[in-house]
Structure 1
Amino acid sequence: MTPTPHIAVLGSANMDLVAYVTRAPRRGETVTGREFRTIPGGKGANQAVAAARAGATVSMIGAVGTDVFGARLRSTLEHSGVDTDLLRTVETPTGTAHIVVDDEGGNSIVVVPGANGTVKGLTPGDEALIASANALLLQLEIPAKGALAAARAARRHGVRTVLTPAPAQHLPDELLAATDLLLPNEHEAATLTGITDDPHAAARSLLSQVPEVVITLGSRGSLYAARGAEPVMVPAPRVTAVDTTGAGDTFAGTLAVALAEGRPVPDALTWASSAAALSVQRPGASASMPYRKEIDARAADPATTNGAPA
């Protein structure tokens, strides 16, 4: 039996303030929404919940405020089985994400970092936790200094680092040098490489900086590339999206679990794509994330091809 992997996550925890509309407003325009929800999110917390629901032991490093949003985020993580002993409580307000979701499931997001902006390095206990993990998940909704400190700690202890370069931005060479697997979507890959219409070429470009890349391609699936190996393209399940918020984080958390369990890359990508496809059929970010039994059932269905991790 495969041992349960331990995934460490250093990243953001936000409260998502979500407005559902027929279509998103243009600049200077006001539209009427049909529903509003507050949903626990943040790319770090989302990936932690996804990995925990996919069957891993998960520990979260980050920061929330002393406000009601911070308490709810901590409770949500713990309810999903995520260890929050190293999730700091600070005086700065908890981070928020202001999200508009349209009837086609598309979204636009404004993130206000809040407490996440205080995660500029490791505190006592963080490095020991990272050292005990099979993989470290990182994103960029915290300061680059914090992500770099964690990636370097993981490299010192031989822990695989998976970096989601979102929000898209210039990545310090030092951070890329400490990254094992880079996990951008096609838009982030284009931002990083300047290559807008050829994911294979973008992946080859990124391999000059990191040893492994997975580019998620929406309804076309996902592309894996590694130095010295043939690329692997895996289609995603065909689904009708309700809300794509958090689908990429679902993919990232689930993929980290699959790889830590030693699954072959095509199987790991298929499993992660199945999880993302389930998530887009439900509203919200962490609230939409599937559990392991659901992912297994979806991945085992040969009729599900051609759909979406976002």
Structure 2
Amino acid sequence: MTKATLALLIHGGTENWSPARWKARFDAVCADRPVHLLPDAALDPAEVRYAAVWKPQPGELAGFANLRVIFNLGAGVDALIADPTLPKLPLVRVAVDDLTKRMTEYVVLHVLAHHRQERYLRDSQRDRRWAPKTQWPASALSVGIMGLGNLGADSALALKQLGFRVSGWSRSAKHIPSIDCFHGEDGLKPFLGRTNILVCLLPLTGATRHILNRKLFAMLDRTSPLGAPVLINAGRGGLQNEAELLDCLNDGTLGAATLDVFETEPLPQDSPFWSQANVTLTPHNAADTDPDAISHYVADQIARHESGQPLHNVVDMARGY
């Protein structure tokens, strides 16, 4: 007996988000299930029971009357939640080891780059200047991670193992062995006051939009060997107030930043971030979603659903994650 139809709705402009690539992976793992890549004029929308999506346009899912579950192929679900026409169905977010480890790689790489003074060393190489500076140990720096879900917790433990002093902040209470955890409004100021390198991995919600602003940056610790606090944002572009962020990078409130996400993506050619000397910029690839891992994840979730078992990682629509 043929199983219920899965529809793929993918808007991507990069090699990793090639719709044909994703279709091939889902065909392989859902061999006994019809998989259709939208738009498909030959497909009857009434046949679709499951949808796996990436950046669907508002309203694109509203026409599937028999849809049961929506699977978001990336980690962030803020754009989906903002669609007022989104069917009121379980929305499942991605939570796989592959994505988590990729984010941890990114966070560790850029914390180490700031800690080991990589920008200075590369400038010295370019200028043929042999002038090493004193290098402090990892224990001289405190790294604070905002957002202690799967991504933040794994990054925190990896940095702790390297010898950094690590703390974390989340909106609700969390416990991670060996990590000092703060939460809520009362915990934010003491968390920031001990942080030299701030790593932001928060989801984007109404409560977190533009949380990375001048007021928050001013509360970061300024007594470390770095000379000024550093920001690493690999969460969502809407978390940062970009005008205030640029001002703080220019007036010394922040010493440097690594930014993987922006409010407008792709980043416009005339954006000042391209030429900002103390910014390391990456094209939203901190934790690219792997079609192999995610297609298996979605197939397993569908199998659970069809056998009457609960879905994992269902988004709380009220909280936004």
TM-score by length of 2: 0.31
Q: Could you state the TM-score of these two structures normalised by the residue count of structure 1? A: 0.32
Higher strand content, 1 or 2: 1
| Higher alpha-carbon Rg | 2
Taking CA–CA contacts closer than 8 Å with sequence separation of 6 or more, which of the two structures ends up with the larger relative contact order?
Answer: 1
